[in-house]
A and B are shown apart, each in its own frame.
Chain A
Amino acid sequence: GEQVEQRPPHLSVREGDSAVITCTYTDPNSYYFFWYKQEPGASLQLLMKVFSSTEINEGQGFTVLLNKKDKRLSLNLTAAHPGDSAAYFCAVSALENTGGLSGKLTFGEGTQVTVIS
């Protein structure tokens, strides 16, 4: 089955600097890719979902790059600010054997980001 590895597990970044979190996955049938942010005591908040390969997808204060050839998904926090301190999770959904897609997600282990002022 699908395996998703997320690195690093912990990340300290100075305010204003950038930081990169990377996930690698194994299933070539992986189709949709998600980044979630979780602040302490809160629910997972969807940052972005992507499916196009080798495109840079820009959000508010971050960019997401998907490289299907390398089976790699990355989240780049640009100009980090204290509000970015949270846990970040990548997640992947894959085509089932039937050729369809299900809502089942395989998550990475998470990255705890701390922004230092």
Chain B
Amino acid sequence: GPKVLQIPSHQIIDMGQMVTLNCDPVSNHLYFYWYKQILGQQMEFLVNFYNGKVMEKSKLFKDQFSVERPDGSYFTLKIQPTALEDSAVYFCASSLGTGGAETLYFGSGTRLTVL
């Protein structure tokens, strides 16, 4: 089936540094998402993105977070600067359309550890 690839699978970074998480979404998909899962907790919506713009973001999407998909390449989540509480697994997802019934295809996640 369609695959979403996330690179890298693990990333360790010092607090205060910048990190960019990369996502290669399904090729013909138009909507992109980031979800965050802190260890032992449920996955939570961060942001969705369409046509070069953020459509909706949650309160977890702090000012230090940004997303972009330059020239149809990777969909990225940048955190600058990182904080200890940013340690989590970040899941990227994409969908062909939006509307609730659309299937979101997820990547396998990037585990971010902020020291």
Interface-central residue, B48, B98, B99, B104, by most chain A CB under 10 Å: B104
A83 and B99 alpha carbons, distance in the complex (Å): 32
* B64 beta carbon closer than 8 Å to chain A: no
Residue pair A108, B56 in contact (C-beta under 8 Å): no
Instruction: Give the residues from 1 to 51 in chain A that come closer than 8 angstroms, CB to CB, to chain B.
Output: 4, 6, 31-32, 36, 41-44, 46, 49, 51
* Stretch from B11-19, B37-45, B70-78, B79-87 at the A interface: B37-45
Given A36-B106, A108-B42, A103-B91 contact (CB < 8 Å): no
The answer, among A6, A41, A103, A108, for a CB contact under 8 Å with B33, is A103
Residue pair A44, B106 in contact (C-beta under 8 Å): yes
The residue of chain A having its C-beta at the shortest distance from the C-beta of B1 within the complex is: A45
A-B contacts, CB under 8 A, total? 67
Chain B residues within an 8 Å CB radius of A110: 42-43
The answer, among A95, A103, A106, for a CB contact under 8 Å with B95, is A103
A17 CB, min distance to chain B CBs, angstroms? 26
Given A43-B4, A43-B107, A104-B48, A89-B43 contact (CB < 8 Å): yes
A100 and B106 alpha carbons, distance in the complex (Å): 23
A101 and B31 alpha carbons, distance in the complex (Å): 14
Given A44-B91, A109-B42, A110-B42, A103-B106 contact (CB < 8 Å): no
Given A43-B106, A43-B108, A102-B56, A32-B41 contact (CB < 8 Å): no
A42 and B103 alpha carbons, distance in the complex (Å): 17
The answer, among A6, A36, A102, for a CB contact under 8 Å with B48, is A102
B77 CB, min distance to chain A CBs, angstroms? 16
Interface-central residue, B3, B31, B42, by most chain A CB under 10 Å: B42
* B102 beta carbon closer than 8 Å to chain A: yes
